[in-house]
Amino acid sequence: MKILVTGGAGFIGSHVVDAYLAAGHDVIAVDDLSTGRKENVDSRARLYELDIRDAELERLFAAEKPDVVNHHAAKASVRESMVHPALYADVNVLGSLNLLELSRRHGVRKFIYISTGGAVYGEPQYLPADESHPICPLDPYGASKAAFEHYLPLYHTHYGLSFTVLRYANVYGPRQDPLGEAGVVAIFSGQMLRGEQAVINGSGEQERDFVYVGDAAQANILALDGGEGGIYNIGTGVGTSINEVFDQLKAATDYQRSAVHGPAKAGEVFKVYLNADKAASELGWKPSTSLEEGLSLTVDYFRTRA
């Protein structure tokens, strides 16, 4: 099967590329390299340096004729989206719609869309949040990701394009940017290994659902032939506080400093974790990597690059 992975040089997308290659598929990666890295992409995949809004994508679709589009590319910072909401609508809605139109015109069989379970639900009315939970994002990033979900059943109804939506929890692991402003596990790991002061935003009692990147990649394998027309949370169902993550990483890195707390960030949900029972029953997906194991693997990766 020929699969086009957008954001394929990025943190999560590159792991999905790896998983598809390991399963024997022919993989094309598309990435504008604004945050992705060429070195993340396995040499067996063909990497095209393109923005998802780029008109040149028409030639790519015509030449490569992918069977499946796996759409990971996005602007994905809650904090940046609060400052640049129009940019997030442009990339995450209009850019995604460009891909959907190209898929329709060039005979793509299936469109796998990566949404966010960490942001579309807003401050949850109940926990763990399942897929029936009301959509009420607190930031333009979550709003843009949720908005595009509505186009997928429309394209299925009118054009027969099949789809699956995966709503990720907080994915962490190797290749995440330790110098960025999102991805607390990578940021803390990098700071601790460099001996720098790690700062917790707010009280640290915020809770997130941390799912290891290898487990998230496996959901994308299962979505190739399963989950037709469905929306699936991809998470562990367990909330872990930022303070707990700090303490576990402090032990794993032998970090000698105590936590320092800064101001809380606008637009961020306080507590969210996801019910992934639907993914278990319909996709056959369950997370297999414990937080302790995943944090250890992540620290080991960053230690080799410190």
> 139 in a domain, yes or no?
yes
Q: Which helix (H) or strand (E) holds 167?
A: strand 162-168
Q: What CATH number does residue 279 fall under?
A: 3.40.50.720
One domain, residues 112 and 136: yes
Contact present, 65 and 108 (Cβ < 8 Å): no
- Rounded (5°) CA angle 175-180-181: 130
Helix (H, G, I), strand (E, B) or coil at 281: helix
Domain that holds residue 131: 2-172+212-235+274-283
One domain, residues 13 and 123: yes
* Total number of domains in the chain: 2
> 178 in a domain, yes or no?
no
One domain, residues 151 and 89: yes
Question: In terms of DSSP bridges, do strands 260-262 and 199-201 run parallel, antiparallel, or are they unpaired?
Answer: parallel
Residue that has been written with the tokens 């442009």 in this structure: 90
Residue 159 annotated as catalytic: no
One domain, residues 118 and 102: yes
One domain, residues 231 and 299: no
> 98 in a domain, yes or no?
yes
One domain, residues 110 and 194: no
Amino acid at 164: T
> 295 in a domain, yes or no?
yes
Q: What is the model's pLDDT at position 305? A: 85
pTM of the predicted model as reported, rounded to 2 decimal places: 0.97
> 179 in a domain, yes or no?
no
Q: What is the pLDDT of residues 144-179, one digit of tens each?
A: 999 999 999 999 999 999 999 999 999 999 999 887
Say how far residue 216 (Cα) sits from the centre of its chain. Answer: 8
Q: Mean pLDDT of all residues in the chain?
A: 96
Supply 306's token pair: 């410190």
In this prediction, residues 47-54 reach a mean pLDDT of 98
141, 212, 255, 273: the active-site residue: 141
Q: What is the model's pLDDT at position 100? A: 98
One domain, residues 50 and 62: yes
One domain, residues 246 and 137: no
> 162 in a domain, yes or no?
yes
Q: What is the model's pLDDT at position 131? A: 98
